[in-house]
Structures are given as structure tokens and as C-alpha cells.
Structure 1
Amino acid sequence: MSDTVESSKKASMTDEERLALCQKLDKELDEFIDSLEKKGYDDGWPEDRWEEEMDKHPFFMKTVPENGELSPLAEGLAKLKYDPEENTPLELANNYKEDGNFNFKHKNYRLAVLGYTEGIKVRCDNAEVNASLYNNRAAAHWFLKNYRSALYDSEKALTFDPGHNKARIRAAKAAFEGKKYDTCIEHCQKFLENNTDKEVSELLNKAKRSKMLKERDERKKNRTEIKKNEEKDELIKTIIQRGIKISKCDDEDDIDLSKLEPTLPGAHDAIVYLENDILMWPILLLYPEYQLTDFIRGCPENAPLIKQLEQLFPAPWDEENKYKCSTINVYFEGYDKMPHIVDPNKNLGEILVSRYFELKGGTAAFFILPRGSRVERNYIESHI
């Protein structure tokens, strides 16, 4: 029984067998690379299954397929390159780095990132290899335009090898692309302490100019924000001084611009504003008989409401000519849910502080009805 068990165990590979297999794999890999150069790459891995496909790839396969079968090439690679029992941490890190380099050369940058990442996960104690893994992964991120990751990896490489010039330069470039100009300047200056390089010197000057422009734009933006805030404060202060009741505001401290924004579709930018200390209000005129409306974006508080109506009548939809300034009544619905008649000869500002008036959605709304008409009677009765 024990003899059967012993004979079923797979014998360990000798050094000669291992060398022969390595030579065979190198030859097959060279032939594979040569074939790639002769034909275009038109069979890429789909985005939604790249991890699944990668696990089938001999370079990245870590588990045996469900059918338990592996090609000699895949089995040899898995054994030689990925088995912790067959490789030291340093060997594993180098193997993953080689996989990353292979994909990098063939512009498979995402796969290269995965290869370098696996090498980093090994956590070998060789500073040079770790610096190379992070630097190479930074290069792959750079070509993918992942500038933040490229900067992180470049700086990580520098923690293992402060004199790694390629990592230093890439850190500077990635910082510039990420608009981190102080970081870019710092890396450029550090590099130029011991090196002379025209490209890095130009990048340093470019970063300094960009930093100045960025700071100028930020100052300008801050001034604009300060001015806008001052204008908002002045607007709210003026509304409070006028004594206008705002819907959903419990007191003066509860008033803000969000409660003054018009809620009508397409009218969000027609918020009340100050012009020469005059409040300019959006107003909505409703015609229940025809289910139509007119929207006026900026009606001055010191102008009679009748002036706005005179610009609208005669209306093109009023075929019976019932809507005239002399033959209509104007109402608003107060916070008591009742209709209140308005004298259109009064200034808008006077109407806004009428008893029971409440400004809703930052817009003054008025109902226009033919005087003495059935439509007017129905409107009034509907609120009783």
C-alpha cells in the first residue's frame, strides 16, 4: 500500500530538468513574440470579463482549471513562476516584474499594472526590486493617464531608492499633469541638485508659471465669491427691510436664496436681484379660463403692476377681447388659502407687503380674470 502511494507522488524536478524547461519556455516565448509582430492585435479581452480571461492566461493563472488539465507551457509557468515553494519572495517579485515588463512592451498597460501589483504584494526585502516594481507600475499608469496613481507610485519608488532619477522625473511630470505644481517644483529642484537636464529645467519653469496663474485664478475666484456673498447678503437684507413674507421661512434668519429660486421649469435663473437698490422680481400671471400663463423675469418693485399688464394685452389668444386692463380683476392667493383682490395701479412692492400675501417659490403669482364673468365667480366660489 505504501509503495503505491510513494509511486503516485510526483518527483521534484532536477536542476537539469528545470534548466531544460526554462530554455524551452524561452524559445516558445520568443516565437510567440515574433508572431505578435507579424499580425495585428484585434482580439482584445472584453472589459466585463478581463479578470476571468486573465486567470486563463499562463502568465497569471494561479488555480488549476475545473477539468484539472493544464498545457505543458501553463503547468511549467505556474510551477516555475508562481509556486511559493519553488521560488523565494525575491524570485517571485522578479517573475511578476518580468510579466509586467512583457505586457508593458506590448502596450497592454492594464495587464502590466496587474503584474507589477502582484510583485509588490510579495513584499520582498530587496529595495532595488521594490523601487523598480513601483517605478514600472508608475510608467504603466502614466500611459493610461492615471496621473495621480503615477505620482503615488513614483514617490513610493523613491522611498526605496531616493536616487532613482526616472522615478523622480516621472513624479514631477505626473504632479504637473495633476496640477500639483508645488510637488512638481519640489521634484524638479531635487533632481537638478545633482543633475543637468534641459527638459526638467523647462518643466520647472513651466510649473512655476502655472503655479502663479493658478494662484491668480484662485484669488480672482475668491474675490468673485466674496462679492457674490456680499451681494446675496445685501439682497436678503433688503428683502427683510421691505417686510415681505417668504413661504417656508419661520423668521428673518431662515431666509436664504434657495427659498427664493423660482420653481417653474426653465425659470431657475430668474431669481430676484437688486438693481440700483431696486428689487427686481419674477412674477407669474395665470389665466384660469384658458389654463395659460405669462412669466415676467424682472418686474421692478417701484413700478405699478398695471404697467406689466399693459404690455401683455390685447393677448393673441383672447379672441373675444375680454382681457383688457379696464375689464379685468387681479387676485393673489394668500397664506389663508383665500383669494384677495389686488389694485393693479399699486406698485408691485406695495402689493408684496399686503396683508395675507406670501411669496412662494421666489415668485409673485397673480390670477387674471374678466371682471363680473362666470369664470371669476367660479374661481371665488372654489375657495369658499
Structure 2
Amino acid sequence: MSEAKEDAKKPMTEEERLQLCEKLDKELDDFINSLERKRYTEGWPEDRWEEEMDKHPFFMKSVPEGDEMSPLAEGLAKLKYDPEENTPLELATSYKEDGNFNFKHKNYRLAILGYTEGIKAKCDDAEMNASLYNNRAACNWFLKNYRTALFDSERALSFNPKHIKARLRAAKSAFEIAKYDTCIAHCQILYEEQPDNKEVVDLLNMARKRQKIQLRDQRKKDRDDKNKNEQREGVIKAIVQRGIKISKCDGKLDIDLGKLEPTLPGAQDAIVHIEDGILKWPVLFLYPEYQMTDFIRACPENVPLLYQLEQVFPAPWDKNDKYSCNSINVYFEGHDKMPHIIDPSKNLGELLVAKYFELKAGTPSFFVFPRGSTVEARFLESYL
């Protein structure tokens, strides 16, 4: 009886193993090639994922009655997957059968589980490992997990560098995630083996075209980044040279453009910049009497503030014509938390270096009132 058991557990010969691997691979390849080329829409629906999980042997709570069982379910019933009763190669083969079964039924996520368990068996057969990784890559390809498909395909190639299907899938996956250099490298190897393969030639040509565009765009981005960095450095250098005080900065070494970005909604792109050596600032005028504001996107530092006010007056909300350049007072709130009246005929640059002026949120802000008005008196009293 023990002799019969020994015979039953006799390991497969090399010839038998190769025949089995070829048979499993051929069955899966034939099935893949027979698939209709269309967009994948057969994944687990969100409203049925528990039902799908219950069909899998790893998660099912009871054996289904009357339904066809996958090889994995039948194998579990027969202790087919017991590591103490099977060699790593036999386990890998069984899990591969289960993966192939689920793949043919378009249960790609379940197939991935099968192939993954086969990989975990850690058999020392290179061809089996290459096949498991290649098949798992096929599942990820159909699920549009192109980055993972590339990883699995290249893992398959590490076990069998001659695996044509794994290399082609690696090339196609690399193309989908814009890794054109990787795609080209795989295509060139394929081209050496199959110079007449139209799919490989077309993919290689497309990847080379896309790579040229990608390199051109990267060069443009690098130039733009360089110009932006030079612009930032120029702005910071100019601010330091002029001695403009920045709120929440502990000195000139602590100044960066992040602290100069306007906080007003929609004004983030109006950050201070430099043109021909002239700083251009976003400026905010506030009219507390009407709770209105005017936002000037780029006020040159060498232009009187009065010129900007002339552009906004008469204001459409000023029904009584109280606001004009000849009838207003303009203030800023200093770092001493007190209001300071200014002369709007001075250049903006002069006002920014006034004794108590401190730049907040990257935007010079000024309060505007009708001269001698009640609202101006209340504003001043609020600081007492």
C-alpha cells in the first residue's frame, strides 16, 4: 500500500513537466487570441463584489450546489493545494490552472489571485515562474493596470529572456504609461528576433515619434523652469535691495515667493514680478464705506499710486460722486497696527519703503475714504 502511494506521488519527469507547461500555455494563448478586441467592461461591479468573492475558494462560505466549480475549488476539496502533499512546482501548476480557468471566464481579478499564489509557491522552475508572471501581466493589461503589467512582464523576462509574449506586452505597457525609452528598448530586441512583425515595427515607430515629442516638451519645460527660477531670484534680489519689509519674514534670507502670493480668490497668478528691472505689484484698494474693493493686477513701482486711482474713478457704486482723486485720503495699516496716511502722488515704490509699511500677503493694500467724512473719522477712532 505504501509502495502504491510512493508511485502516486512520484515527481514528474522533465519531459512530462515541459509537456504540461506547454499544454497550459497553449490553452491560455489560444483563448487570449480568440478574444474579441473590445474595451474591457467585465470587472467586478461595485454592487456585486461580495457575490463574486463568495464564488472564490479563498472566500466562499459554502460549496456551491449545481454550479461548475473552478479547478481551485475542486483542488481544495481533494487537498490538491496542501503544501505538505505537493511539491512547490505541483502547487504552482495547480494555481496556474486555477488562474487560467478564471482568465477564460474573464474573472481577471480572481485569475490574478491564482497566479499570485502560484508565484508564492516559490518553485525553482524558471519556465513556470515566467509563465505565472506573464499570465498575471495579461490580467493586469486587460484591467488597464499598465504599470503593474509592465512590472510583471519584465519579471517574466527575468526568468525567460526569450519570452516573446512577455516582451511584447512589456513594450505595449510601457507605451501606455509614456515610458517610451523602455518601450523602444523592448521593441528593438523583438525586432532583432522578428524583423517582419508589423505590430512590433508599428509600435517601435510610434514610440520613437512620441519620444521625440516627449523630449521636446521636457526641454521646453526645463527652459520654462529655468526662466521661472531666474525670475524668482530676480524678484527676491530686487525686494532685498529696495529694503521692502515682508510680513512674517525674519530677514532677507527668509524671503521666498511663497510668502508673496496674493491670498485673494482668483489672484494667485498676479504675484509680484519683474520686467526690465521694474517690480510690478498687485495692489488692493479697499472702500470700507461700501464694502467694495478694486484689485490692480500689475502696478509698476515707478508709477504714482494716483495714476492707478485715476483708472478706477469714477466708481460705478459711487452714486453720490464722493470719491475722486481730489477728494480722498488714502491710508495703510503699518506694522505698528496703526493707520498711516500717504501721499498718493508718490510712486508705489516709495510707499513700499515707508517707515511703518509692511507688505502682507504679497499685496500692498490701501484704505480709501472721502476726505473729512464720518466714515473716515470712525476708521481712525477704531485704532484709538
Residue 126 (str. 1) matches residue 122 (str. 2): no
CA gap of 1:345–1:139, structure 2 versus 1, over 3 A, is same
Change (3 A) 1:191 1:46: closer
Partner of residue 289, structure 1: 289
- CA distance 1:320–1:62, change in 2 (3 Å): closer
Structure 1 unaligned blocks of 5 or more? 1-11, 16-41
Report the number of matched residues: 340
Partner Cα distance (1:159, 1:321) in 2? 81
Q: Equivalents in 2 of 1:266, 1:123: separation in Å?
A: 57
Q: Could you tell me whether the CA contact under 8 Å between 2:247 and 2:359 is conserved in 1?
A: yes
C-alpha distance in structure 2 between counterparts of 1:266 and 1:186, whole Å: 45
**Kindly tell me: are residues 274 and 101 of structure 1, through their superposed partners in 2, closer, same or farther at Cα, counting changes over 3 Å?**
same
The one-letter code matched in structure 2 to 1:260 is: L
Alignment partner of 1:330 is 2:330 = yes
Equivalent residue letter for 2:54: K
Alignment of 1:235-384 (within 5 A): 235-384=235-384
Whole-angstrom CA distance in 2 between matches of 1:121 and 1:169: 25
Tell me the residue number matched to 1:184.
183
Report the counterpart of residue 33 of structure 1 in structure 2. Answer: none
Conserved? CA contact 1:278–1:301, under 8 Å: yes
CA distance in 2, matches of 1:311, 1:129: 78
Amino acid at match of 2:370: P
Compared with structure 1, are the counterparts of its residues 176 and 319 closer, same or farther at alpha carbon in structure 2 (3 Å cutoff)?
closer
Q: Is the 8 A contact 2:168 2:190 kept in 1?
A: yes
Question: Normalised by the size of structure 2, how large is the TM-score?
Answer: 0.80
Decide whether aligned partners of structure 1 residues 180 and 313 sit closer, same or farther in structure 2, where only a CA change above 3 A counts. closer
Q: How far apart in 2 are the matches of 1:190 and 1:212?
A: 20
Q: Which residue of 1 aligns with 2:28?
A: none
Any idea what the Cα deviations from partners look like across 1:27-47, whole Å, max 9, x if unmatched?
xxxxxxxxxxxxxxx997543
CA RMSD of superposed structures (Å): 2.6
Matches of 1:247 and 1:333 in 2, distance apart?
Answer: 12
Unaligned runs of 5+ in 2: 9-40
2:170 and 2:63 map into 1 onto residues whose CA distance is 45
Offset, 1:136: 0.8
Amino acid in the other structure paired with 1:348: L
Q: Distance in 2 between matches of 1:202 and 1:351?
A: 65
Shift of 1:192: 3.2
- Aligned counterpart, 2:76: 78
Deviation at 1:181, TM superposition (A): 2.4
Q: 1:186 to 1:314 in 2, by over 3 A?
A: closer
Measure, in 2, the Cα distance between the counterparts of 1:292 and 1:220. Answer: 42
Identity of aligned residues (%): 64
Quote the Cα distance in structure 2 between the aligned partners of 1:276 and 1:64.
73
Higher-Rg member (1/2): 1
User: CA separation in 2, counterparts of 1:141 and 1:43?
Assistant: 13
Query: For residues 297 and 227 of structure 2, what CA distance do their matches in structure 1 show?
Result: 23
